[in-house]
Amino acid sequence: MRRKLTALVASLLLTVPLASGNPAQAQTGPLRIEITDGVIEPLPYAVPTFIAETASAAELAAEITRVIAADLSGTGLFREVPATAHISSVSDFNAPVKFADWKAVNAQALITGAVSVNGKQLTVGFRGYDIFADKELGAGLHFTGTTDGWRRMAHKVADGSIAGSPAKAAILTVGWCSSQRPAP
């Protein structure tokens, strides 16, 4: 790596005077390279397994959680805090978040959710939290569709999380889920 950097600097030193059109007007001071952008560090987030509000929702809750985590991590903008590092567990979707526990594992964002299944009807709710500001982002979102559309719902939750607020994805999510509802 050091050889490549030395070669790059040497080639820059040789080409800078030639690029000006007049080799006699070479730079008199040391070469100055200004780095304006660095590496973007992915935002650490936690997404504990969504709560299964009905017995038949347990498997889907775990699957939906994994799709959300994969979507977020796959962007390169987010880094999942492993479940083994979690101090708190989320056992009730409506319970207050223990922000100090999530700060302790360096999660900057938290996504919680609940899943229920009634026959072929699937309901997913989620909330996003800014851990260091100790606040919920938006009012969360609940939507309903069919169990066959569970993967699409998981992607919509991830999209809402990426947008920074679940409410920003509400129009797309509710529009899609409404079209997926079984006829009465």
Task: Check: CB of residue 54 under 8 Å from CB of residue 116.
Answer: yes
> For residue 22, is pLDDT > 60?
no
Domain-located, residue 98:
yes
Per-residue pLDDT tens over the stretch 35-71? 776 667 889 999 999 999 999 999 999 999 999 999 9
Its domain, for residue 76, covers 43-180
In a domain, 154, yes or no: yes
- Residue 30 forms part of a structural domain: no
For 75, residues 6+ apart whose C-beta sits below 8 A from its C-beta are: 162
The answer to whether residue 128 scores a pLDDT higher than 50 is: yes
pTM score of the predicted model: 0.68
On the question of pLDDT at 176 being above 50, the answer is no
E runs forming strands in the chain = 43-46, 51-52, 78-80, 109-118, 121-130, 135-146
Whether 92 is in a domain gets the answer yes
pLDDT digits (tens, 9 = 90+) for 104-121: 999 999 999 999 999 999
Is residue 144 in some structural domain? yes
**Between 159 and 61, where is the model more confident?**
61
Q: What CATH number is given to the structural domain containing 161?
A: 3.40.50.10070
Tell me, yes or no, whether 33 lies in a domain.
no
Quote the number of domains for the chain.
Answer: 1
Could you tell me if residue 133 is inside a domain? Answer: yes
For the chain, the average pLDDT equals 78
